[in-house]
Structure 1
């Protein structure tokens, strides 16, 4: 089910335009003040959320953050302790799962091992008001959609993990739900297959127009798949936005630390002029400049955050406001990039990712173990966080 890289890039690029168009319509899914308690434990706390029609929306967070509980409430498998859930303008809060225009694809795929691929896809249609001919047509349509027409008479153990995932997806889409819920849909796949299947899911969603909500703990998966995503922690939504918004402009240390790798430094605001803040960062051993955020004042404590790929490493001191000296303590080569761990004069160690943009030998690296180096970063790449 592979497709040219140019097509994949085009699909990803379409997300901002699709999101802009969808903003003009009322929200397709509206979660209002939803809380779920199990005895004295609060699994989901006062969640408010709006999801647009045709989005791939991801709920992202670590184990126990409440994302699966929220998904199960959308499906009707759990009842909210408080709050309401609306889908396509209709209050679904008190409706059982079989009366909701929703289907769910489970992490295990839950295929029947004794049934063929064709019969697995057809299983959910047997109670629908359809003729046998209509069911057969629908099954053929779904198998063609996931490119498994040639595997219709095989059983689950006779196909690969990625193909089983597509059978489960075809079965979930066969009933033409308005909303498809996917609980860790790619967790059982190996890394390369998972990466390829992400784009297959995007392609299938684009063809069907079905709204997808994906639960995942995988940051890269959420950022690749999603038109928007929500980061959850301790039952609350901490930030909602596009992958770019959440990664580049996190609203807290928690979100910044959860999405990707990042270096944190305690600092103090020295001065703010226009959109640039001058920041004293003792652990960096320097006063640096960063893009200002609203509400800053001189003397205010702040957290300065810099992502490893935003730092540049060199042997000579660079020009510009943010130059920091250090020494290479550790070096790891990953092929496409190298990770440097640099010890600063303060004793603090920070991480840097340097892209290996050309093929070089071991003696041609930017720096090696124990080398004295200089680090630099653009003021716009630094993140200032109050929380």
Structure 2
């Protein structure tokens, strides 16, 4: 994660603002064996998780995977059926929400429509042990932090969706929580504004040093925002890691398929030698060299996975080990790249992404409809999955 940006003199820097804690330091948040049942339904199942101080940590998964329930247990809105939750060394499991060093920013933002931006931000401070002057200064600092000082006297309907999102963020940060919980914080924004606001969130988090925990179903959002993320499914955490680790080295078919686009092929282990495995892939009509994973044995059934952007297309057969013939069945132009659907002799369709590095007209496409082509990929790009 980049070093925190220096705060402007008129922006409050929260106590404890610091670079991301080293991995060897004790976890700032520790979730131990947490399970949550609603009657016979298990929403969260035996979750163990450690989050470091100063992280932006994302809980990523589809609807009903348990990520929001886990967030609500951190906030104190739900009680675990089993397990314990610790924040900064203190057991929070039985504490009510108002006694936890936590604040939550809701998906709907929940702004008061009859109040100005300034009064919305000040609302959470009215029960704090502060003088009126101190509250006013805190609100002023928060509005400066989210770059909304000039909009302080407007009401929510008089500002844009992105600005309302920042008002909600300022209100949540005004109490200087140790942990800020964000439930789908950018879901209401359009794509371009969402992308812009992601970087604003990162900059604000760096300035404050507050630990952010984000719940999202958006893979790109989680990968952009997070220092680390956890992929959840059916109440369980399937994998934890940086965006690079989870994308490049998924530990299961579920994670590989949930994060980004990917091609899956049933395969059988032919042999292994050192760090290299050879697997027979009937759909590709040959043997593929791949980076070996522990515990492989000849004859073992396994899954080969290759991401579309890792595959190269050419009209001439390349010299690489993993090279196979196919025919362009269809293609789609997306501006920055093109998606090719390649029909293999086996009948399988393979997806391939090709970056459009030149403007249309400067050079012809790599291939066109019904062209015979060769596709190839590096052994390091071939992912082997047991699960």
TM-score range, shorter-chain basis? over 0.9
Moved more, 354-363 or 270-279: 354-363
Deviations 1:133-192 (A, max 9, x none): 000000000000000000000000000000000000000000000000000000000000
The equivalent of 2:84 in structure 1 is 84
Taking the TM superposition and a 5 Å limit, the aligned residue runs for 1:44-63 are 44-63=44-63
1:62-86 CA-partner distances (Å, limit 9, x unpaired): 0000000000000000000000000
What TM-score, normalized by structure 1, do the two folds share? 0.95
TM-score, normalised on structure 2? 0.95
Would the aligned equivalents of 2:111 and 2:156 in 1 still touch at CA under 8 Å?
Answer: yes
Distance 1:191 1:9 in 2: 24
Q: Secondary structure at the match of 1:318?
A: coil
Match of 1:308 in 2: 308
Q: Distance in 1 between matches of 2:241 and 2:54?
A: 16
Give the 3-state SS of the residue equivalent to 2:350 in structure 1: strand
Q: 2:127 & 2:336 partners in 1: Cα distance?
A: 52
Q: Which residue of 2 aligns with 1:243?
A: 243
Q: How does 1:115-126 map to 2 (within 5 A)?
A: 115-126=115-126
* C-alpha distance in structure 1 between counterparts of 2:285 and 2:352, whole Å: 17
Give the direction of change, closer, same or farther, for the CA distance of 1:340–1:71 in structure 2 (3 Å limit): same
- Equivalent position SS for 1:125: coil
Question: Equivalent residues in 2 for 1:343-354 (5 A)?
Answer: 343-354=343-354
Instruction: Output the CA distance in 2 between the equivalents of 1:141 and 1:151.
Output: 14
What is the match of residue 377 of structure 1?
377
Name whichever structure is richer in helix by fraction.
Answer: 1
* Equivalent runs, 1:216-365 vs 2, <5 Å: 216-361=216-361, 364-365=364-365
Deviation for aligned residue 1:24: 2.4
Which residue in 1 is equivalent to 2:184?
184
C-alpha separation in 2, matches of 1:77 and 1:41? 18
Aligned-partner Cα distance in 2 for 1:206–1:330: 45
Aligned to 1:172: 172
User: Unpaired segments of 5 or more residues in structure 2?
Assistant: 6-17
**Secondary structure class of the residue paired with 1:62:** coil
Which residue of structure 2 aligns with residue 3 of structure 1?
none
Name the counterpart of 2:36: 36
In structure 2, the residue matched to 1:73 is 73
Provide the rounded CA distance (Å) in 2 between the counterparts of 1:332 and 1:362: 18
Q: Which residue matches 2:27?
A: 27
Structure 1 residue 25, shift from structure 2 partner: 1.3
8 Å CA contact 2:4–2:207 kept in 1: the answer is: no
Shift of 1:326: 0.2
Contact residue 4 and residue 19 of structure 2 kept, 8 A: no
2:12 equivalent in structure 1? none
